[in-house]
Amino acid sequence: MRPNARTLTLLAAALLLARSATAFTYWNDVRHSAELPGGLVTVRLENPSGTGVINELLYADGGVQSVTMEPVADGPSTVQASVPAPGAGARFYGFRLVQGTDLELLSVRLADGVSPGLSDLAPLSTDPTGDEVFGLEHLDLIGCRVGRDGERLHAALTNAGSGFPVNSGFTFFSYLLGITNPSVADPETVFAMIHTVDVSGIIEPGLYQVNGTGVNDLVKIGEITVSELPDQDTLLLSCSLADLEANPLFQSWYDPTDPRISVAGFSQRVTILGGAEEADRTGGGVWHLRDVALGPLSSELPQLGALIIPEPGEGGVVSTEYSDAGGHCPVISELEIDGVVFPLRPQSLDYDEPVNYASAPALPPVENGTWTSIIARVSDNQSDLVEVEEMVVGVSEARSGLQLRAAPNPFTGVTEFGFSLPRAGSVELAVFDLSGRRVATLLRGDLPAGRHGRTWNGRDDAGRPQPSGVYVYGLRTAGQLMVQRVTMVR
């Protein structure tokens, strides 16, 4: 038998619970660290947080697992969590956002062509036992899970027991996953995967467009697959996403650039005299049909550019440029001024490009010109620190305006030692290893006042390549010496 007008109204009502609260795009600026100790990776993103808000990061490991994401001072509204890293291949991740009674879900993508089990699907909602209205255990839904691969949508409806019969004499039963526009509170058209009795020419299991009030308003638009997991009291439903996308009404609101649908599960009892009546429903949510994946993580260390330090009274903001060949974000980013640590924060969040990191404004030692050592320090893996330092050696040198820095630092091929001379004079620039052995002499002679630079390719004076590690470079002028460190990574 076909659902009647009452059935259609109940279907729409169930899906009201799943409407999107805002037009805000969730899970902005997803970024990640390099591989951390223990085979983990830290994932950061921009999302709402605060009282009554729960952010979870999902991943597959013997079923869908979740880790709570915590707020962290980084971008405008950053949350983060550490989860297993991708390893040798790509790994998919998902997210779950609960704001009061509103749920947003981005499920972990499934492998194509593989029939998922219950634990492979992401939890959409749970429902209390015993709230089914007809006293029938098999219509008492207690949970709903969803997941998708590259072609199909999958759903799991779990009940309180007794299987999923579709008829008992002249009484029939239906089990549904409803799908609708998340931006409309009371849609005229909904879609549903429906498992029910198969009566030729009247009703059969399938994917349906449900238009409104008449018996002719239930239009089958695709097939579904149905299977039971008796030991888990679960019914698995699946349909082709292409069948939905080919439907003009679905196309009229579905946005492939930000694909979202509202979903909810429910059950029905259908009788000849009473028609179709809702038996139970699960809570709903907005299901985001996007993929988030990380490939194998590279091991290159990030690089920092030279420190940009303003003159006293010019704002007190210290900055440096961060770049990483693997697109990793740092999990440590700080500034140390004469032993006191201050945060460094990114000024943009796209790590495929160099990112400017800056301190808070008006740092007192910088604003007042009283600092003697400033170190910018980052790490993208919690183990290897990358630093760039600006140091004043003695008050007379600070007043002289002598400056020296290496960029990039660390470096893989060539770095440039840039320096500024307040006055003309004899200059020597050399590189030493940590034992004090002179590795390379880059300059020895007279230079005029002003800015100068010399490059070093990581070789000694005989042209032999030197091993990775930390080196000391020194600039000597008449009566003055400045030394700093540089890291070479082969």
Asked whether the domain spanning 392-490 has the same topology as the one spanning 298-391, the reply is: yes
DSSP category for residue 244: H
Question: Would you list the domain boundaries of the chain?
Answer: 5-294, 298-391, 392-490
What pLDDT sits at residue 149? 97
**Residue ranges for the chain with pLDDT beneath 50:** 1-24, 213-215, 393-400
What pLDDT sits at residue 46? 96
Of 224, 169, 210, 164, give the one whose Cα is nearest residue 2.
Answer: 210
What pLDDT sits at residue 394? 38
Rounded to whole angstroms, the Cα distance separating 356 from 442 reads 30
What pLDDT sits at residue 390? 83
What pLDDT sits at residue 397? 40
Rounded to whole angstroms, the Cα distance separating 412 from 304 reads 12
What pLDDT sits at residue 45? 96
User: Two tokens at 119?
Assistant: 């634990």
User: Two tokens at 353?
Assistant: 């490009």
CA 394 → CA 343, 373, 388, 390, distances in Å? 26, 11, 19, 13
Of 238, 119, 228, 126, give the one whose Cα is nearest residue 179.
Answer: 238
What pLDDT sits at residue 441? 96
Q: Say which residue the tokens 């003159």 belong to.
A: 311
User: Two tokens at 31?
Assistant: 């970024």
Assessment of whether the complete model's pTM goes beyond 0.85? no
What pLDDT sits at residue 18? 30
CATH number (3.40.50.20, 2.40.30.10, 3.40.630.30, 2.60.40.650) of 298-391 reads 2.60.40.650
> What kind of fold does domain 392-490 have according to CATH?
Immunoglobulin-like (2.60.40)
User: Two tokens at 437?
Assistant: 């052995």
340-343 and 345-346 as β-strands: parallel, antiparallel, unpaired? unpaired
pLDDT tens digits, one per residue of 49-58: 999 999 999 9
